[in-house]
Amino acid sequence: MRFITLLLALALGTMSLSAQENIITPAPVKVQGGICVDGYCAPAEPFDFRQTLKLNISGADEADAERLEAAVSAAGLNFKRVKRHAKSGFLSINIFPECMEQEDGYVILTYPYGVDITAKSAAGAFYALQSVRQMVEAGDWQTGVILDYPRFGYRGVLIDISRHFRTVDFLKRQIDMMARLKMNRLHLHLTDAAGWRMEIESYPRLTSYAAWRTPDTWKEWWQGGRQHVDEGTEGAYGGYYTKEELRDLVAYAADRYITIIPEIEMPGHSDEVLAAYPELKCTNNPQFQGDLCIGKEATFEMMQAILDEVIEIFPSEYIHIGGDECGKDNWKVCEDCQRRMREEGLKDVDELQSYMIERMERYLNERGRQIIGWDEILQGGLAPNATVMSWRGEEGGIAAAEAGHDAIMSPHGYCYIDAPQDAPYSQPESIGGYLPLDKVYSYDPAPATMAPEVSRHIKGVQANLWAEFIVEDDHYEHMLWPRAIAVAEIGWSERENMNFEEFRPRAVKIVDRMIEEGYTPFDLKNEIGNRPESKTDVEHLARGKKVTYISPSFYWAPQYEAAGDATLTDGKRGTWTYADKRWQGFLGRGGVDVVIDMEEVTTIHSIAADFMQICGPGVYMPCLVEIAVSTDGENYTKIADIPHEIVVDELPSFKSFGWEGEVEARYIRYKAHRSNYSGFLFVDEIVVR
Ligand code: ACM
Ligand code: ZN
């Protein structure tokens, strides 16, 4: 009965949209101010949410009812629990699976005298209460209708606690925030070279040894000997979660309708396992081995025993088995791996990897679980039931979906939030190019152009926050928020309801509230934004003029050709990132050596070009720039010689190399020499005035 009333309300409602339209994040499917039933319309007016509400919950089991009651409290509402729907002053929550088709959807009907929440599932009711919480926080809860459901069933965040261990309390704080944004998957990267983080009783050295290292920072550890040490050794840095702690964490997340997906990396990214159990190394033994030996049966015994303990703690249907970035070289020379390949008829090491992934899949399937793997698990043939997590781009996810597998999208260009989110000079050292909030927000995991038989396999989206450079918890939160808010909205909201201009002020408010609550998100209201030079095209005398590259060996690197030989005079200045197809990257020994033809003898007062330096990926300033001019294209006069001493620094920098004066010339030769630091020179435009 109530559902029919609801349909009428939605169909007949003609009132204006509510102010609530731009309060709830992620943006809901439909918000309408006022309530109309059977032709009678109650106007949109503030609902008195400060009264003590009579809360009744129906259709939920006891555990869910307790969770929902906790969510009502967390929303800041006063209530007393009643058995029946009260006549006024009610907050009624009804779980009613037939109320709509969409999984985890809900409807909130706010009358002047009470509130009815109808939800498809307990999770849906929890999500409704998160919307309620945001209205209470905004002090703006109007009568009206909210109809809402998620676009994707998987809305995730990856937290990397291998590179730097973090406490259970820290994880719970992030879970709290995820839940408020209706996110529902926490992918825990529990294992990697830098440290194993889960107690495993059958292999105790994983935590008594592989969980500890010296020195503390990942960077020093990685560049040094990559040593693990025994727990309790002086200076040992690291940690691990006991099973008790993990059980508690899993329950805490489940109370907020978040499933924790544990990741146990194999066969790559397993240096720490091999440090603790070197007998699982391949028989040729270079210093650093990160890949488990697939030839040895003991590897399978160990991984199966580990997975037994993992599934005992984590009820998640999905277990992530890693599968990314295997070196595979040892397998080519290892007697055991070679024997395995002969016996199993595997034609290359990609198939050897797939052999292992398929065996692990079978093992988990037999125990009622499914695997997720990084997109490299496609390389030697995909395990029959695997879900692919697409990170190297979207191609892996799309290929998996085309083959009828499910995929979760986490392409690094949009979802790797270990990249800097503001002007790189203002941000701590990080990995990758400039990835501001608006770029994350622009990502669509399943655009309308995607074939429906592909898009129906795209199950969702995930933000990944790797922690190589992130030692402190406050730094971790700074990287995570607010970009994970954008990912929450990508995962939940319908595309037609998404608009960055409306999202940003909502995100600013959430960030301000988080700061008040003691979180340390990036303070969005102080965002500097993209490189100012890149925002408008630059007019100058050489714009559109022909550029000749003096020697092919001085030519650009293919992946950084930008706009080809138009780049340096196309009027487009680069952004903060060299991967924007505006910066041209030169890899050859000679550096940059080009001639601009001004087409006629011209009076010139300045010639300048910007370079960038980001030492991590090997991008350096030139050590010398020479500028020469000519009227005939044969006889050049040097007008500038600009030496530069390179300072190796963690922070990205930008610098102009130019000349000012007065000269008459038709041809300009601009030559930037590469230093002894091997790597790229990046230049975006040669500006002539
Ligand atoms: C990954 O970033 N290697 C999954
Ligand atoms: Zn081997």
The domain that contains 604 carries what CATH number?
Answer: 2.60.120.260
251 with 350, same domain?
yes
Residue 589 is predicted with a pLDDT of: 77
104-144 pLDDT, tens digit per residue, is: 999 999 999 999 999 999 999 999 999 999 999 999 999 99
Q: Find the domain containing 136 and state its range.
A: 2-148
327/384 same-domain check: yes
Relative to the CA of 269, which ligand 1 atom is closest? 3
> Does residue 177 carry a pLDDT above 70?
yes
Report the amino acid identity of residue 121. S
Helix, strand, coil share (%) of the chain residues, nearest 5:
35, 25, 40
CATH assignment at residue 420: 3.20.20.80
30 is written with which tokens?
């439909």
The reported pLDDT for the residue numbered 535 is 95
Closest by CA to 281, choosing from 222, 327, 214, is 327
Which residue's CA is minimally distant from atom 3 of ligand 1?
Answer: 324
Enter the tokens of residue 509: 């408010």
> What is the b/e burial string over 649-659, where b = at least 16 CB atoms within 10 angstroms of the residue's CB?
eeebebeebbb
CA distances from residue 380 to 56, 357, 423, 464, 510 in whole angstroms, order as listed: 54, 10, 40, 25, 44
* pLDDT-based confidence at residue 44 (cuts at 50, 70, 90): confident
Ligand nearest to the CA of 335: 2
Q: Of all residues in the chain, what percent carry a pLDDT higher than 70?
A: 96
Question: What is the model's pLDDT at position 5?
Answer: 47
Q: Do 102 and 143 belong to one domain?
A: yes
pLDDT in the model for residue 376: 97
User: How many other CB atoms sit within 10 Å of the CB of residue 338?
Assistant: 18
The CA-CA-CA angle for residues 110, 114, 119, to 5°, reads 60
Give the number of other Cβ atoms within 10 Å of residue 689's Cβ.
14
Q: What is the pLDDT of residue 21?
A: 66
Radius of gyration of the chain (CA): 29
- Amino acid residing at 459: K
- Please work out, in degrees rounded to the nearest 5, the angle formed at the alpha carbon of residue 244 by the alpha carbons of 240 and 247: 100
Q: Which of 148, 178, 195 is the last residue of a domain?
A: 148
Q: How many angstroms separate the CA atoms of 525 and 217, rounded?
A: 31
192 catalytic residue (yes or no): yes
Q: Is pLDDT at 61 greater than 90 in this prediction?
A: yes
Among candidate residues 160, 192, 468, 477, the one labeled active-site is 192
Mean pLDDT value of segment 414-429:
94
Q: What atom of ligand 1 comes closest to residue 322's alpha carbon? A: 4
Q: Does 390 lie in the same domain as 310? A: yes
For residue 416, give the ligand 1 atom closest to its CA.
Answer: 2
Distance of CA 500 to the CA centre of its chain: 18
Neighbours of 132 (CB within 10 A): 25
Q: What is the pLDDT of residues 249-282, one digit of tens each?
A: 999 999 999 999 999 999 999 999 999 999 999 9
Does an H or E element contain 33, and which? strand 30-33
Instruction: Name the residue with the closest Cα to ligand 1, atom 2.
Output: 391
Tell me the CA distances in angstroms from 332 to 291, 324, 546, one per residue in order.
Answer: 12, 18, 50
Please tell me whether residues 556 and 621 are part of one structural domain: yes
Domain stops at, among 122, 148, 174? 148
- Ligand 1 centre to CA of 191 (Å) is 13
Q: What is the CATH number of the domain that holds 115?
A: 3.30.379.10
Q: Report d(CA 553, CA 547) in Å as an integer.
A: 16
Would you say residue 12 has pLDDT above 80?
no
Asked if 522 and 439 sit in the same domain, the reply is yes
Spacing, Cα 396 to ligand 1 middle (Å)? 13
The answer to whether the CB of 416 is under 6 A from ligand 1 is no
CA of 346 to the centre of ligand 2 (A): 14
Query: Sign of the CA dihedral 241, 246, 247, 251?
Result: positive
The structural domain count of the chain equals: 3
The pTM assigned to this predicted structure is: 0.93
Q: Give the pLDDT of residue 16.
A: 46
Same structural domain for residues 406 and 458?
A: yes
Q: How many CA atoms lie within 13 A of 512 on its CB side?
A: 10
pLDDT band at 15 (very low <50, low <70, confident <90, very high): very low
The predicted pLDDT at position 554 comes to 52
Same domain, 302 and 160: yes
Average pLDDT of the segment spanning 235-241: 97
Q: For helices 297-313 and 243-254, what crossing angle results, to 10°?
A: 50
User: Both 337 and 446 in a single domain?
Assistant: yes
Same domain, 492 and 541: no
Instruction: Using the predicted structure, report yes or no on whether residue 14 has a pLDDT greater than 50.
Output: no
For 567-611, write each residue's pLDDT tens digit.
Answer: 999 999 999 999 899 999 998 777 899 999 999 999 999 999 999
Is 264 in contact with 305 (CB distance < 8 Å)? no
pLDDT in tens, 92-109: 999 999 999 999 999 999
Q: Which of 462, 491, 526 is the last residue of a domain?
A: 526
Residues 580 and 505 reside in one and the same domain: no
pLDDT beyond 60 at 477: yes
Checking if the pLDDT of 298 tops 60, the result is yes
3-class DSSP state of 53: strand
Q: What is the mean pLDDT of the chain?
A: 94
Contact predicate 3/99, CB 8 Å: yes
Of 66-70, 307-311, 607-611, 615-619, minimum mean pLDDT range: 615-619
Q: Could you check whether the bond before residue 267 is cis, i.e. omega within 30 degrees of 0?
A: yes
Q: Which residue bears the tokens 């697409």?
A: 390
Distance from residue 372's CA to the centre of ligand 1 (Å): 13
Percent of the chain at pLDDT exceeding 90: 88
pLDDT band at 11 (very low <50, low <70, confident <90, very high): very low
- Ligand 2 centroid – CA 355 distance (Å): 13
Task: Verify whether ligand 1 is closer than 6 Å to residue 431 (CB atom).
Answer: no
**Pair 24, 142: CB distance under 8 Å:** no
Question: What ligand is nearest to the CA atom of residue 392?
Answer: 1
Q: Of 325, 438, 473, 523, which residue is the catalytic one?
A: 325
Tell me what pLDDT residue 555 has: 66
Atom of ligand 1 nearest to the CA of 389: 4
Q: Do residues 118 and 187 both lie within one domain?
A: no
Q: Provide the residues around ligand 2 (an ion) whose CB is within 5 A.
A: 282, 293, 295, 334, 336-337
Query: Which pLDDT value is given to residue 1?
Result: 38
Confidence of residue 20 (pLDDT cuts 50, 70, 90): low
Residue 394 has pLDDT above 80, yes or no: yes
